[in-house]
Amino acid sequence: MVDVVVCHYHEIGLKGKNRDFFERKLVENIKKAVAPEFFEWVKKFPGRIVISLTEKGSKNLPKIKKSLNYVFGISYFAFALSCSPQVSEIKKSALGFIKIKKGKTFKIETKRSNKKFPYSSQKINEIVGEYVLKHLKGKKVKLENPKITCFIEILPKIAFLYTEKIKGLGGLPVTTAGKVVSLLSGGIDSPVASFLLQKRGAKVVFVHFHAYPYTNKASIEKAKEIVEILNKYQFGSKLYLVPFAEIQKEILLKTQAKFRVILYRRAMFKIAQFIAKKENAKGLVSGESLGQVASQTLENILAIDEAVSLPVFRPLVGMNKEEIINLAKEIGTYDISILPHEDCCARFIPKHPETKADLKKIKQEEKKFNLRNLIQKTQKRVEIVVFK
């Protein structure tokens, strides 16, 4: 009975002259998400995107639902029946839909994109409701909290009917905001930060700093598993695996202990910026939340950001740990993030790290080792993993 999926958006509808660009990107991403054997075409209609299902697609609605749950830009979607925008056809379609649904109470809810249609939305509700009551004796109209709501959308050349709205991810289609590079630690925070940038339309390139062979490969494997999950939201990813132990060693041997974490982060950001320029990315992403740990004070963040010229996005800055954990569970990264691993920064973290860094002192400490030379050597040993 279901032959189309009607996908509604919210934020895209506010884009004015750029709306067409966002709609086209959403169409492209839907085509990437849904298996090609499940649809005949995906097209823009006024205020919505419509997927025409094949016979195989109509029989695999749970798989299509799962796929669309990874597509940013969709406010909600519905498995629907299409018909001619004629009252007689709409009445028959509504009757068929309501007949197979469990529940004795129903209501009709109509929206008209076609304002030239001869009846108002309220009048259509009355006509269709009366028709259903006449042919289904066991059903009753109930306008407040009915068991069944039959939604009718009338467009100039077609009408859609459905009984369930499935919540989507919202946000903006991935790639509409350009590209960013995310520093992926393997912990709870950075995957969530990456997800939130994806939700704002950014394509994310991932960078993971590790201390192998001085540690085991646990953090590397975790990073790969996390990117596997986040890749479902953007249909193609890169993970840069950066050996960081030699840089850490130099910082450990030649600088004051309390400055180590800030110097580590500055080095990481410099390397991430190099990768960003290579990838033509316009910003960096970090999972820091203000005041969560010693290195995440305003003074320390300022000292770290000074190391790079690209903007650094911190979408978790105002969130507490519980909020971050809840979101990590929603997107599916939490269970991987909490697996034990040897974090490259945690290996040499001082007992009393600096909480209010003085940028002049940090730069003086940085002069004690040749960071540029270390970064150049490190870049030659970077491994790139591609996710399709």
> What pLDDT, on the 0 to 100 scale, is given for residue 137?
85
pLDDT confidence bin for 126, thresholds 50/70/90? very high
Phi, psi torsion values for 67, nearest 5 degrees? -65, -45
Predicted local confidence at residue 349, as pLDDT:
64
Confidence of residue 160 (pLDDT cuts 50, 70, 90): very high
Question: In which band, very low, low, confident or very high, does the pLDDT at 320 lie, cut at 50, 70 and 90?
Answer: very high
Cβ(34)–Cβ(40) under 8 Å? no
User: What integer is the mean pLDDT of 67-80?
Assistant: 97
Residue 344, pLDDT score: 53
Question: What is residue 23's predicted lDDT score, i.e. its pLDDT?
Answer: 96
pLDDT band, very low/low/confident/very high, at 339 (cuts 50, 70, 90): confident
Domain positions in the chain: 4-167, 179-387
Q: Would you say residue 64 has pLDDT above 60? A: yes
- Predicted confidence at residue 352, as pLDDT, reads 65
- CA 371, distance to chain mean position in Å, is 35
pLDDT at residue 311, as a whole number: 97
Whole-number pLDDT of residue 195 = 98
Average pLDDT, the chain: 92
Look at residue 341 and tell me whether its pLDDT is greater than 70. no
User: How much is the pTM?
Assistant: 0.92
3-state SS of the chain? CCCEEEEECCHHHHCHHHHHHHHHHHHHHHHHHCCHHHEEEEEEECCEEEEEECHHHHCCHHHHHHHHCCCCCCCEEEEEEEECCCHHHHHHHHHHHHHCCCCCEEEEEEEECCCCCCCCHHHHHHHHHHHHHHHCCCCEECCCCCCEEEEEEECCCCEEEECCCEECCCCCCCCCCCEEEEECCCCCHHHHHHHHHHHCCCEEEEEEEECCCCCCCHHHHHHHHHHHHHHCCCCCEEEEEEECHHHHHHHHHHCCHHHHHHHHHHHHHHHHHHHHHHHCCCCEECCCCCCCCHHHCHHHHHHHHCCCCCCEECCCCCCCHHHHHHHHHHHCCHHHHCCCCCCCCHHHCCCCCCCCCCHHHHHHHHCCCCHHHHHHHHHCCCEEEEEC
What CATH number has the domain spanning 4-167?
A: 3.30.2130.30
Residues 212-235 have a mean pLDDT of: 90
What is the distance of C-alpha 157 from the center of its chain? 33
* Residues 6+ positions from 286 with CB-CB distance below 8 Å: 182, 183, 190, 193, 312, 313, 314
Least confident of 37-41, 55-59, 169-173, 294-298: 294-298
**Residue 137 structure tokens:** 């004796």
**How far, in Å, CA of 12 to CA of 171, rounded?**
8
pLDDT for position 343: 60
pLDDT-above-90 percentage for the chain: 77
Question: Which tokens in the block code for residue 99?
Answer: 């007949």
- Mean pLDDT score, 21-38: 97
In this structure, whether the domain defined by 179-387 belongs to CATH 1.10.3720.10 is answered with: no
- Look at 14-18, 50-54, 87-91, 208-212 and tell me which has the smallest mean pLDDT: 14-18
Average pLDDT value for residue range 355-363: 87
Region 157-167 average pLDDT: 96
